[in-house]
C-alpha cells in the first residue's frame, strides 16, 4: 500500500510538471525566437547606420580633398616654386606660402578630422606641412620621393585619389597613439601639367571612435578589419583587441564567418554576428572622385557587429516576477485547486502584457510622427487632383505657411514656379500612371517671395480600390546649386586676370551672334597680342609678366563698355567682342586701347627696372563678324590675320582685316 501510494504521489507530481512544461515551453521558445529576431533586427539596423556613417564620412573626406586641390593658390605656388627665382619672385612666393599655411590651418580647424595636411612638389619634396599636434618647432619637411604613397599619387589623373591602409600614427597631447589614413591626390595646372601631390592625413581613431568605444552601444561590440583580417580599431579600453592584430587569432569564429561572404549574418556561441564589406575603391559613388587606388590586399574593409545572443535562461531571468510565476505555477499545478489560480494568473499576465504593448505602440507612433515632422527633408502626400493632404513641418517651414493654410486647401502645383511646372506635371502623371513613381527637380515659391530649388521623389499608395494618394520626399538642393554655380564660374574664368577664358568667349559669342542675326546690328571682334612678351618673361621673370597681364586686363576694362566682352585666349593673347559696333567704331576702340596701353607703364618696382615702371605695347587686329556665320571661329582667324599684319608692320599698331 505504501509502495502504491508513493507511486501515485510520484505520478501525481510528475504529470502536472510534464503538462505545465509542455504548455509553457512553446511560449518561452516563441519569446526566445522573438527576442532573437529583435536582437538580430536591432543589430542589423545599427550595423547599417554605422556602415552608412563610415561611408558618408569617407566620402565627405574624399570630397574635401578634391575641393581643396582645385584651389588656384596651390597650383600657382607649385608652378611658381619650380621656376627660376628673382627677388620679386621670392616675395610673391613667400606671400603665397603664408597664405597656404593659413589656409591649411584653417582647413584643419574647420574640418576637425585631419591631423596633417601637406603639399609635395613633383620631385617628392614636402613644400608645406600643417599639423594639429602641438609642438614648438614646425614639423620636419619629409622627402616623399621613394614612398609608395608618392609613387601611387603621381601616377593618378585629375580627380583620382590614393588612400593608404589605416596605420598607427603619432601620439597626441595625452600620449595616446592614434590611427591614421593618408589620402593623396595629384595637383595639375588648368592646362593639365602635373605639379605635385596634395596629402591629407585623416584621424582614423577619431573617425571610428564611436565603433571602438564599448560604452556607446552597451554589450554590443563592433568589429572592423581589412581584407587580411587585421584589426583596424584603436582604443576601446584595456579589453579591446590591439590595433593590427589578426582577428583570426583573437576571435577565430567571427573571422571565419566574415571571411566567407561579403555580407550576411552568423550565429556564434554567445553572439549574433552581422557584417558588411566596404571597398573604398568602388563604393564611393556619392563622392566626386574619379578613381580611387589603395593597397589591393587590404581591401575591402569588413565591418561587423556582435550582439549578445539571447538564451532561454536569460529570457527567464530578465524578469524576477516572471521567474517566480513559473515556480508558483509548478507548485500550484500539483493540486487540482491550483489550476484555476494558474489560469487567472495567466489572464492577468497577458492583460498586463497587452497594456504594455499598447503603451509601447503609442510611444513608438509618437516617435515616428516626430521623425516625420522634423526630418531633414520634406515629406508630403497629394490626392489624385494634386491637392495637399499631408505635409511635414520641415516643408511647411520652407514654404513659410501653417498646416491649416495648405492641407486640404491648396494644390501643390501652386507652389511650383512657372518655369518648372512642366517637370512637376510630368512627374506627377507618372505617379498616377502604371509606373506608380516619378521624380523631378523643381523650384518652390515660398511665402516671402524667394524660390527654393528642390528634388522631388514620389511614389503612389495603391490599394485594391485603386490610387489613394502619393507619398513624396523633397530634398533641399540649395547647397548643390551653389556648388555647381561656383564650379561653372571657375570653369569660365582665367584665374590670373579674372577675365573670361576661351570657353566663356565662345558662350557669349553664340548669344551675341544670334542677337545680331535677329536685329541686324553689326558685331565686331578685336584680337590683341602683347608685343615682346616673351622678352619680358625671359628678362624680368614670369612674376613680372603676370603683373603686365593683370595691368593690361585692368586698363582694357576701363576702356570698354559694360556690354563688351573681354577675354584671355591664353598666354599674352586676348580678344574683345563688341556688340552693336561698326567697323569705324571698332577701329576707334582698338586705336584708343592701343594708345592707352602704350602710354600706361606697369608699376613693377625699383628692383626690377630703373624707375620701377615697365612700358609695353600691343598689336591689334580688327574684323567684323559676317552675317550668316554661326560661330566665332572665322572671325577669330580674320582678326588674327590682321594682328599678324600689325606685327609684321612693326608692332604697336592696329590693323583691319575684312577677310
Tell me the per-residue pLDDT of 243-284, one tens digit each, with 9 for 90 and over: 888 988 888 988 998 888 888 888 888 888 899 888 888 876
- From 572, 591, 607, 629, the catalytic residue: 572
**C-alpha cell at position 215:** 560604452
Nearest to 569 by CA among 636, 522, 502: 502
The residues spanned by each domain of the chain are 43-316, 378-478, 493-656
Give the SS3 label for residue 579.
strand
Q: What is the mean pLDDT of residues 112-132?
A: 88
Q: What is the pLDDT of residues 291-350, one digit of tens each?
A: 888 888 888 989 998 888 877 777 666 666 766 777 777 677 666 543 444 344 456 666
The Cα angle at residue 246 between residues 240 and 250, in degrees rounded to 5: 50
CATH architecture, domain defined by 378-478? 2-Layer Sandwich (3.30)
27-31, 83-87, 602-606 — which one is most confidently predicted on average?
602-606
Chain mean pLDDT for the chain: 84
- Residues 462/469, Cβ–Cβ less than 8 Å: no
d(CA 121, CA 150): 10
Q: Same fold for the domain at 43-316 and the one at 378-478?
A: yes
pLDDT above 70 for 554: yes
Nearest to 583 by CA among 508, 652, 526: 526
Q: What is the CATH number of domain 493-656?
A: 3.30.70.270
C-alpha count within 13 angstroms, C-beta hemisphere, residue 430: 16
Give the SS3 label for residue 311.
coil
Which residues lie below 8 Å from residue 640, measured CB to CB, with a gap of 6+?
527, 621
Q: Which CATH class is domain 43-316?
A: alpha beta
Q: What is the pLDDT of residues 578-619, one digit of tens each?
A: 999 999 999 999 999 999 999 999 999 888 888 889 999 999
Q: What is the pLDDT of residues 411-463, one digit of tens each?
A: 998 899 998 889 899 898 888 888 889 898 899 999 998 988 999 999 988 88
Which residues lie below 8 Å from residue 27, measured CB to CB, with a gap of 6+?
none
Residue 33 buriedness (CB in 10 A; 0-12 / 13-18 / 19+): exposed
pLDDT for res 1: 47
Q: What is the pLDDT of residues 133-168, one digit of tens each?
A: 654 455 566 788 888 888 888 989 998 999 999 988
pLDDT above 70 for 172: no
113 pLDDT tier (thresholds 50, 70, 90): confident
The residue among 90 and 239 whose pLDDT is bigger is: 90
pLDDT for res 50: 85
Give the SS3 label for residue 450.
coil
pLDDT above 60 for 639: yes
The Cα angle at residue 216 between residues 213 and 217, in degrees rounded to 5: 110
**C-alpha cell at position 528:** 590683341
- Residues 574/501, Cβ–Cβ less than 8 Å: no
d(CA 642, CA 618): 13
d(CA 624, CA 325): 101
Nearest to 81 by CA among 141, 118, 122, 117: 122
Q: What is the pLDDT of residues 467-512, one digit of tens each?
A: 888 889 999 888 887 887 777 777 788 889 989 999 899 999 999 9
d(CA 289, CA 293): 11
Q: What is the pLDDT of residues 353-401, one digit of tens each?
A: 777 777 887 887 778 778 888 888 898 899 988 899 999 999 899 999 9
236 pLDDT tier (thresholds 50, 70, 90): low
Known catalytic residue at 572 = yes
Q: What is the pLDDT of residues 513-536, one digit of tens each?
A: 999 998 989 999 999 999 999 999
Amino acid at each position: 500500500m505504501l509502495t502504491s501510494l508513493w507511486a501515485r504521489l510520484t505520478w501525481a507530481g510528475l504529470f502536472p510538471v510534464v503538462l505545465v512544461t509542455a504548455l509553457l515551453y512553446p511560449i518561452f521558445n516563441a519569446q526566445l525566437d522573438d527576442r532573437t529576431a529583435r536582437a538580430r533586427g536591432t543589430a542589423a539596423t545599427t550595423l547599417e547606420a554605422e556602415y552608412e556613417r563610415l561611408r558618408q564620412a569617407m566620402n565627405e573626406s574624399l570630397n574635401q580633398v578634391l575641393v581643396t586641390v582645385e584651389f588656384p593658390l596651390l597650383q600657382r605656388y607649385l608652378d611658381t616654386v619650380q621656376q627660376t627665382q628673382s627677388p620679386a619672385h621670392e616675395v610673391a612666393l613667400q606671400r603665397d606660402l603664408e597664405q597656404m599655411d593659413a589656409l591649411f590651418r584653417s582647413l584643419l580647424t574647420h574640418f576637425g578630422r585631419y591631423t596633417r595636411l601637406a603639399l609635395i612638389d613633383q620631385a617628392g619634396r614636402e613644400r608645406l606641412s600643417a599639423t594639429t599636434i602641438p609642438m614648438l618647432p614646425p614639423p620636419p619637411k619629409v622627402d616623399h620621393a621613394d614612398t609608395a604613397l608618392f609613387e601611387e599619387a603621381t601616377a593618378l589623373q585629375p580627380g583620382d585619389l590614393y588612400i593608404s591602409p589605416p596605420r598607427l600614427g603619432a601620439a597626441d597631447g595625452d600620449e595616446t597613439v592614434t590611427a591614421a589614413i593618408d589620402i593623396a591626390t595629384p595637383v595639375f595646372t588648368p592646362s593639365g601639367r602635373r605639379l605635385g601631390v596634395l596629402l591629407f592625413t585623416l584621424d582614423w581613431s577619431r573617425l571610428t571612435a564611436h565603433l571602438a568605444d564599448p560604452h556607446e552601444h552597451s554589450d554590443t561590440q563592433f568589429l572592423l578589419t581589412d581584407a587580411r583580417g587585421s584589426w583596424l580599431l584603436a582604443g576601446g579600453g584595456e579589453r579591446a583587441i590591439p590595433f593590427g592584430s589578426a582577428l583570426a587569432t583573437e576571435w577565430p569564429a567571427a573571422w571565419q564567418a566574415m571571411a566567407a561572404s561579403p555580407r550576411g549574418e552568423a550565429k556564434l556561441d554567445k553572439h549574433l554576428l552581422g557584417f558588411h564589406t566596404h571597398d573604398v575603391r568602388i563604393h564611393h559613388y556619392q563622392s566626386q572622385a574619379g578613381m580611387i587606388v589603395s593597397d589591393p590586399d587590404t581591401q575591402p574593409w569588413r565591418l561587423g557587429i556582435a550582439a549578445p545572443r539571447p538564451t532561454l535562461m536569460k529570457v527567464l531571468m530578465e524578469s524576477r516576477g516572471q521567474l517566480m510565476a513559473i515556480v508558483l505555477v509548478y507548485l500550484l499545478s500539483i493540486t487540482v485547486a491550483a489550476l484555476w489560480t494558474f489560469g487567472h494568473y495567466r489572464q492577468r499576465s497577458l492583460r498586463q502584457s497587452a497594456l504594455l504593448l499598447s503603451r509601447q505602440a503609442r510611444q513608438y507612433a509618437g516617435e515616428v510622427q516626430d521623425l516625420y515632422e522634423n526630418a531633414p527633408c520634406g515629406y508630403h502626400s497629394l490626392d489624385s487632383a494634386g491637392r495637399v493632404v499631408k505635409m511635414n513641418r520641415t516643408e511647411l517651414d520652407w514654404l513659410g505657411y501653417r498646416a491649416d493654410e495648405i492641407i486640404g486647401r491648396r494644390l501643390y502645383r501652386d507652389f511650383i514656379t512657372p518655369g518648372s511646372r512642366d517637370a512637376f506635371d510630368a512627374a506627377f502623371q507618372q505617379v498616377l500612371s502604371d509606373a506608380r513613381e516619378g521624380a523631378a527637380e523643381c523650384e518652390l515659391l515660398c511665402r516671402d517671395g524667394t524660390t527654393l530649388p528642390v528634388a522631388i521623389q514620389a511614389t503612389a499608395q495603391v490599394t485594391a480600390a485603386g490610387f489613394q494618394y502619393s507619398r513624396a520626399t523633397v530634398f533641399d538642393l540649395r547647397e548643390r546649386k551653389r556648388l555647381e554655380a561656383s564650379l561653372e564660374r571657375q570653369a569660365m574664368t582665367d584665374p590670373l586676370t579674372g577675365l573670361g577664358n576661351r570657353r566663356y568667349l565662345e558662350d557669349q559669342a553664340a548669344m551675341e551672334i544670334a542677337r545680331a542675326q535677329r536685329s541686324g546690328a553689326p558685331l565686331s571682334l578685336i584680337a590683341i597680342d602683347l608685343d615682346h612678351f616673351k622678352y619680358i618673361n625671359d628678362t624680368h621673370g614670369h612674376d613680372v609678366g603676370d603683373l603686365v597681364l593683370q595691368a593690361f586686363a585692368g586698363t582694357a576694362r576701363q576702356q570698354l563698355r559694360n556690354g563688351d566682352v573681354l577675354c584671355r585666349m591664353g598666354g599674352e593673347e586676348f580678344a574683345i567682342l563688341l556688340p552693336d559696333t561698326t567697323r569705324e567704331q571698332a577701329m576707334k576702340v582698338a586705336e584708343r586701347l592701343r594708345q592707352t596701353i602704350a602710354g600706361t607703364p606697369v608699376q613693377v618696382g625699383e628692383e626690377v627696372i630703373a624707375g620701377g615702371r615697365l612700358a609695353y605695347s600691343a598689336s591689334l587686329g580688327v574684323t567684323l563678324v559676317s552675317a550668316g556665320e554661326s560661330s566665332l571661329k572665322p572671325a577669330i582667324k580674320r582678326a588674327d590675320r590682321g594682328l599678324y599684319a600689325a606685327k609684321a608692320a612693326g608692332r604697336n599698331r592696329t590693323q583691319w582685316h575684312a577677310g
